[in-house]
Chains A and B, each alone.
Chain A
Amino acid sequence: MNDFSLLPDDPRLTAYALGELDPDERAAIEAALHHNPALARAVDEIRRTGQQLEAALAAEAFPTPVERSAAANGKVYPFETDTPTPVPVSANERPASAGSDSYLPQRRRGKLIRFPQFYYLVGGVAAAGFAVMVALHRDEFEVREIARVESLRSAMQKRGESARQGGESVVVALPSIPSTELAADAAVFGSALVASAPAATSPTAPALAPGGLSLLDQARQNASGVTLSAFENRAADVAQTTVRSREREQAARALPAVNEIQTKALRPGSTRLAATGPAQPITLSNAVGAASGVAEAKAAQALTSGSLTLGGMPSPGALDARYASGGGLDLYPGPPRVRPEPGLPLTPPVASNTEAYSFIRDNAFLTATQNPLSTFSVDVDTAGYSNLRRFLTSRRLPPPDAVRIEELLNYFPFRYSGPTGEAPFAVSLEVAESPWAGGHQLVRIGLKGREISAEARPAANLVFLIDVSGSMNQPNKLPLVKESLRLLVGKLRPDDRVSLVTYAGNSGLALPSTPVARSREILEAVEALQPGGSTNGAMGIHLAYDIAKANFMGEGVNRVILCTDGDFNVGVTGSGDLVRLIAEKAKSKVFLTVLGFGMGNLKDGTLEQLADKGNGHYGYIDNRREAQRMLVDDLTSTLVTIAKDVKIQVEFNPAKVASYRLIGYENRVLAKEDFANDNVDAGEMGAGHTVTALYEIVPVGSAAAAKIVPAEVDELRYQARLAVADAVPSALANELLTVKVRYKEPQGDESRKLEFPLADAGKSFASASVDFRFAAAVAQFGMILRKSEHRGTATLGHVLAWALDSVNPTDDPRGYRAEFLDLVRQAQELVRTE
C-alpha cells in the first residue's frame, strides 16, 4: 500500500537526491521509489543536475579587481547584495549583478526606497543646514584639523605604525583628498548611517532626513545605546547572511548610494559603529550632500571640518580608497582614545578576579603489576607557561591549578632528532636517575614533529574569531589582539586568506575572507575593532566555521583562531554546551587555535577544553613577545597540523619497574581501551612541535621499591584471583618499558602505530643529556609551584642549580631558557616572602 502519493514534483525527492533526509524519511522515500520507476528517474535527473551545478559553480571565475571596478556596483563586501545592473562582461564571467535581496530579512523589501530624487532633495537641504552649522564652529575645528592632518600624514607614511596610531586616535581632516573620493566615501558612510536610520527610527523613506537627524542628535547626546543596538541588529542580520562565495567582492559604489541603502549595512561599518559612541555630526550631511551631487563642495567642506577617524587610511588611489575607506573609515567619536604603549606594564590585578582554573589532581604512583599500561593524549598547549610567566612577572604566585607541568615542558623546543621516515614525527627516549628522589629514575619521552619551512607551508584559510566584548577593553587584551594580528598578517603569504569575525552581543563579520594580497584592508579592519557589548560565543563560533567552510582550501590549512579572555556570557554559556558545540564543529576538518589574553577574567579551564575538543591547541599571549613567538616565529607550527589524535601508551615491564608516575598530563589521561579506539579524540601536533613527557619510575630491587605498599584491591568473588604477572619472556627481560604511539594523518580517520622499546642503561643524572636535565628542572619547578606531594626533597634552589647547569647561554635560541631562570629566581623571592 503506497501511502506516499509522491509526485515527481515533490520537494522531498530533491531533498532525498541531495542527501538531506533523515534515515527514516530516507527509508520511506526509497520504498516509494521502489514502487514507482518514474520517481527513480526523477531522482536520477535531480542528482545529475546537482552535479552539473556543482561543476559549473566550481568553475566559476573570480572577478578580478579590474572587473570589479568595471562592475563598480557599490558592493563593499562580498556578502552584500546588489540590485541587478548588467555589466558587459565575457560569457565566462559572472555579471556583477543579480544579488539576492534575501540577505536582509524579507520584511524590508517592501520598504525599498523607490525615489532617489527625493533623497537628494532632502539631503541637499540637510547638507545646507549642517554646512551652516559647521561654518559657525569653524574655528575650533581648524586648530584640531591641522594637528590631525599632520598625524594622519605621518600615519600614512608607515603602514605598520599607522595601523597602531591610526587605529586609536588619528582623526583626519581631508582636504588632501580629492573631494570626489570624499564624496564617494561619504556616500558609503552616509549610506551606512542612513541605513541605520530606518533601523533605529522609522522604516520609511520620508522619515529619512528627520530620522537621520534625530539619530545624530541622539548620537550626540548619548549614542552608544541607540546606535549600538541598531547596528548590532544590522550586523546580526547581515552576519546571518554573510557566508557568500568569494566572487561577491565588489567595489564601493559611488552613486546612487541611496538606492542600495537597505542592503548597505556595511559590516565593518556597522561593527565599528556598533562599538562606539556618537557618530560625527558631519557624516550624514556628507552622505546626503554627496548623494545629491549638489552640495559636493559643501560636503567636502563639511568633511574637512568634521572629525572622521580613519584607521590608517592609505593614500587615495581611486578605487582602492573607496574600497578601503569603505572598510576603513570610522565614524567614531571625537576625543582620541588613549594609545596603549607597547611596553605598558601589566595593570595591577583587577579587584574582582574571576579567573577560573579547573582542579587538577596529581597522578599518583601506580604499580606496574596492577597497571602495566599508562595511556595519555599528547598536548602541545603552551598556555600554562605563559600564564605562569604572567603571574610571576606581576609578582604573584600562580594558583596551583594554573600550573600544568606538561604545558611548561612543551613550551621549550628541545633538540630531539627529527623524523626521517614517512611518519610525521620521531620519538626519542632517555632514562636516567631522578635528581629529587633517591633511587628513583626518570624516563623522558620526546616527540619531534616534522619541520615545514615557511615557503613550503600550504596556503592558509584563516578565520579569526575575536572577542570584542566589553571585558576586552584593557591594554593587554584587545590592543594586544590587534598587535598580534598585525604581526601575523605581516608574516602571511599573499595567497593566504584572512577573515575577521567578532562576537559581542550579536556576532558580526568584521572582514569577509580576504586574500592577504589585500593586506591593507585586513589591517584596516583590524584597526577598526572596538570593544563593547556582551559576548555571544556560540553565534560567533557558528559564523566563523561557516566562513572557514565556505572558503575551504582542499590542500591547505583551514583554521579558526579564537582570540578571547575566555568570558562567554550570553547565549550558549554553559561550558558543557559550548564544548559540545565545538566538538561538533571539529568534525568539519577545520582546526582550531585558542589564544587567551588578559587576566582577571581568564577562563583558563574553558579555553583549554575548547582547544582539546575542537582539535586544536591553546596558547596564552601575555605580551607582545609571546604574540611574536606564536604568530610569527612559530607560525608554521601554529598553523599547520601534521598529525591528529596523537596518543601514547606505555607498557611497563613489571620485572624491572615496581611503580611509576606520569608527571603532568593529568587532564589528558586516557583509559587503556582508548588507545586503539579511533573514535576517541586526542591532541594534535603542529609542524616542528616538540612534545615531552616524563615518568618517574621506582625500579624493582631498589630501596624505594621495598617501601611500596601495593594498593589493596578486594578479591574477586566470581572469578579466579586476579592474574598474577606471568614471568616476562627472557628476550624482553632487559627492557624497561615500551612506548607505543598512535596518530592519524591530519585529514585521515585511521590511526597508525609506532613502537619503541627502551632499555635501562643506568645513567646518573649528571651524565644525562642537557635537554634531559633541563626538562627535569622544569618539571620540578612545576611540582614545587603546585605544592605537589611528589616533589621529593628538592627546592627551588635545586631547580635553579640544575637549570643553570643545563643552560648554555650561547646555545639558547630566543632566550627561552634564560627567561626560565629569571622566572625561577622570581619565584624564589616570592616564596621566601610568603
Chain B
Amino acid sequence: MKRFEDGQMERVTAAEPLPGRALEQAETQAAILQLIECLPPNQQEVVRLKFQNGFSYKEISRITALSVSNVGFLIHTAVARLRTEFAAQRP
C-alpha cells in the first residue's frame, strides 16, 4: 500500500461524469429536442441549420431565401423562447 503523493489524488479521479449525470444530461437533451420540435416550422428550420449543421447567418439566408436580418430575428426569437420554456419546465 502506497501513500498518495502530492497531486496524485487529483489524477486518480475519473474524467467521465458520474453515471447519474449522464442520465440527467440525456433527459435534458431529450427535453430540449422536444421543445425544438414544438417550435413553429420556420424557426425550427433555422435553429437546426444554425445549431445542428453549423451554418452561418449568411449561409442560412442563402439556403432558406430569407434575409439575413430575418434569419437573425428568427434565431433570436427561437432561442429566447426555448430558454424560457426550458426554464419553465424545470422545477
Query: Bound pair: A and B?
Result: yes
Taking the nearest CB of chain B, how far is it from the CB of A660, in angstroms?
47
Beta-carbon nearest neighbor of B33 in chain A? A56
- The DSSP consensus for interface residues of chain B is helix
Complex Cα gap A81–B83 (Å): 25
Contact of B29 among A9, A56, A97, A100 (CB under 8 A): A56
Cβ-defined contact, A14 with B72, below 8 A: yes
Taking the nearest CB of chain A, how far is it from the CB of B88, in angstroms?
14
Give how many A residues have a beta carbon under 8 Å from the other chain's beta carbons: 46
Taking the nearest CB of chain A, how far is it from the CB of B17, in angstroms?
13
Taking the nearest CB of chain B, how far is it from the CB of A197, in angstroms?
22
Complex Cα gap A49–B77 (Å): 12
A711 at the interface (CB under 8 A from B): no
B67 at the interface (CB under 8 A from A): no
Cβ-defined contact, A100 with B41, below 8 A: yes
Q: Which residues of A contact B26 (CB under 8 A)?
A: 59, 92
Cβ-defined contact, B48 with A245, below 8 A: yes
Known: A60-B33, A98-B44. Contact between A20 and B57, CB under 8 A? yes
Q: Which residues of A contact B37 (CB under 8 A)?
A: 94-95, 97-98
Q: Which has the most chain B C-beta neighbours within 10 Å: A50, A81, A99?
A: A50
0/1 string, B22-59, CB within 8 A of A gives 1: 00011011101110111101101101111111111101
A365 at the interface (CB under 8 A from B): no
Cβ-defined contact, B79 with A49, below 8 A: yes
Complex Cα gap A103–B44 (Å): 11
Beta-carbon nearest neighbor of A42 in chain B? B80
Cβ-defined contact, A550 with B53, below 8 A: yes
Complex Cα gap A98–B37 (Å): 6
Cβ-defined contact, B28 with A103, below 8 A: no
Cβ-defined contact, A59 with B29, below 8 A: yes
Complex Cα gap A241–B49 (Å): 10
Q: Which residues of B contact A13 (CB under 8 A)?
A: 76
Q: Which residues of A contact B14 (CB under 8 A)?
A: none
**8 Å CB interface, A53-78 against B:** 53-60
Known: A14-B76, A97-B37. Contact between A54 and B55, CB under 8 A? no
Beta-carbon nearest neighbor of B42 in chain A? A102
Cβ-defined contact, A546 with B41, below 8 A: no
Cβ-defined contact, B47 with A15, below 8 A: no
Q: Which residues of A contact B63 (CB under 8 A)?
A: 240-243, 546
A542 at the interface (CB under 8 A from B): yes
Taking the nearest CB of chain B, how far is it from the CB of A83, in angstroms?
9
Taking the nearest CB of chain A, how far is it from the CB of B78, in angstroms?
9
Contact of A105 among B25, B45, B47, B65 (CB under 8 A): B65
A52 at the interface (CB under 8 A from B): yes
Complex Cα gap A92–B25 (Å): 12
Q: Which residues of B contact A105 (CB under 8 A)?
A: 65
Complex Cα gap A368–B22 (Å): 66
Contact of B82 among A10, A49, A55, A549 (CB under 8 A): A49
Cβ-defined contact, B64 with A14, below 8 A: no
Cβ-defined contact, A56 with B36, below 8 A: yes
Cβ-defined contact, A15 with B76, below 8 A: yes
A91 at the interface (CB under 8 A from B): yes
Complex Cα gap A191–B37 (Å): 26
A355 at the interface (CB under 8 A from B): no
A11 at the interface (CB under 8 A from B): yes
Beta-carbon nearest neighbor of B69 in chain A? A11
Cβ-defined contact, B29 with A102, below 8 A: no
Cβ-defined contact, A20 with B41, below 8 A: no
Q: Which residues of A contact B72 (CB under 8 A)?
A: 11-12, 14-15, 20
A755 at the interface (CB under 8 A from B): no
A46 at the interface (CB under 8 A from B): yes
A706 at the interface (CB under 8 A from B): no
Q: Which residues of A contact B34 (CB under 8 A)?
A: 91
Cβ-defined contact, A50 with B79, below 8 A: yes
Complex Cα gap A244–B60 (Å): 11
0/1 string, A682-713, CB within 8 A of B gives 1: 00000000000000000000000000000000
Cβ-defined contact, A53 with B53, below 8 A: no
Q: Which residues of B contact A92 (CB under 8 A)?
A: 26, 30, 33
A101 at the interface (CB under 8 A from B): yes
A801 at the interface (CB under 8 A from B): no
A18 at the interface (CB under 8 A from B): yes
Cβ-defined contact, A102 with B45, below 8 A: yes
Cβ-defined contact, B51 with A50, below 8 A: yes
A760 at the interface (CB under 8 A from B): no
Cβ-defined contact, A240 with B65, below 8 A: yes
Residues of A within 8 A of B (CB): 9-15, 18, 20, 45-46, 49-50, 52-60, 81, 91-92, 94-95, 97-103, 105, 237, 240-245, 542, 546, 549-550
What are 9 A-B residue pairs whose CB atoms fall within 8 Å in the complex?
A11-B73, A46-B79, A52-B86, A92-B26, A94-B37, A99-B41, A102-B64, A103-B45, A549-B54
Given A58-B52, A103-B45, 7 new contacts (CB under 8 A):
A14-B76, A50-B51, A54-B51, A95-B37, A240-B62, A241-B64, A546-B59
